[in-house]
Amino acid sequence: VEFLYCDLASMKSVRQFVQQFRAKNCPLHVLVNNAGVMLVPERKTEDGFEEHFGLNYLGHFLLTNLLLDTLKQSGTHSHNARIITVSSATHYVGKLHLNDLQSRCSYSPHGAYAQSKLALVLFTYRLQHLLTANGSHVTANVVDPGVVNTELYKHVFWVVKVVKWMTAWLFFKTPEEGASTTIYAAVSPELEGAGGCYLYNEERTKSADVAYDEELQRRLWTESCKMVGISDEASRLP
C-alpha cells in the first residue's frame, strides 16, 4: 500500500495529487470518491466554496475529471475501469439551488449537506452518460452506505450524540458493514460494464426523482466546470 496526500477541500491539493499520481505512470482501475464532512457550521474552503459543496462534491468532481484520461486508458472491454461515488440517503430530501450553490442566501447545515449529496448523484448519472457517448470502457456508479457509526456525526447536536451512543449498536452499521456496498461496486463481476446505478445494500435501487433530470444534470456539470476551472467539453455532447 502506498499513500499520496490529497485534501479534497483544496483544488490546488487535488491538482498536485493528480500530478504526483500521473508521474508514477500507473494504471487506474478503481476510483472511490469517499471523502466528506457532515453538518459542519457555515465556513468556507481555501477556494471560497461552502465547505459541504466544496469538499463533498467539487473536490470529487475535479479529481474525477482530472483522472478520466488515465481511467479510460486503464479500462478494457472485458474489464472496465470503475468510478464509485459515495452519496447518502440524505440526497432524497436535498434540493439543488443552481443560483445559490454556496448557500449564501440562507445557510442550513442539513440543507447544505443534502445538496452536496444530491449533486454527487446528478454528477454520477451525467458522467455515465458522457462515458457511454464516448464509448469509454469506464463505468460510474453511486453508493448509499447506510447509517454508519463513524466520526462523521461529531457536529450533530449533543442530544443526537447521546441517542447515537445509546443506540448505535442496534441501528448503525459498523464501518466494515458500511463499506460493503462500495467494495461490491468496485469488484463485483455482476456490475461489469454496468454504470449509472444507485446502489444500497449491494442492490440497485431508485434514487430521488430529481436526480434523473437530465437538464439539471447538464446545468450542474457546466456550472461545476466553471467553478473548478476546467474545460466543459461535455457541453458539446447530447
Average per-residue pLDDT for the chain? 88
**Cβ distance 145 to 179 under 8 Å?**
yes
User: What is the pLDDT, as a whole number, of residue 158?
Assistant: 39
Q: Is residue 2 situated within a structural domain?
A: no
Q: Is residue 4 situated within a structural domain?
A: no
Q: Is residue 161 situated within a structural domain?
A: yes
The residue-averaged pLDDT of 12-18 equals: 98
What is the total count of domains within the chain? 1
- Please indicate whether residue 198 is annotated as part of the active site: no
The residue-averaged pLDDT of 121-132 equals: 98
Is a pLDDT exceeding 80 seen at residue 37? yes
CATH code (residue 68): 3.40.50.720
Q: Domain of 205?
A: 11-236
* Cell, residue 160: 443526537
Is a pLDDT exceeding 80 seen at residue 148? no
In percent, the amount of the chain with pLDDT more than 90 equals 73
Q: Is residue 200 situated within a structural domain?
A: yes
| Comparison of pLDDT for 236 and 72, the residue scoring more | 72
pLDDT-derived band at 175 (thresholds 50, 70, 90) equals low
Is a pLDDT exceeding 50 seen at residue 169? no
pLDDT-derived band at 142 (thresholds 50, 70, 90) equals very high
Q: Which of 5, 57, 107, 113 is catalytic?
A: 113
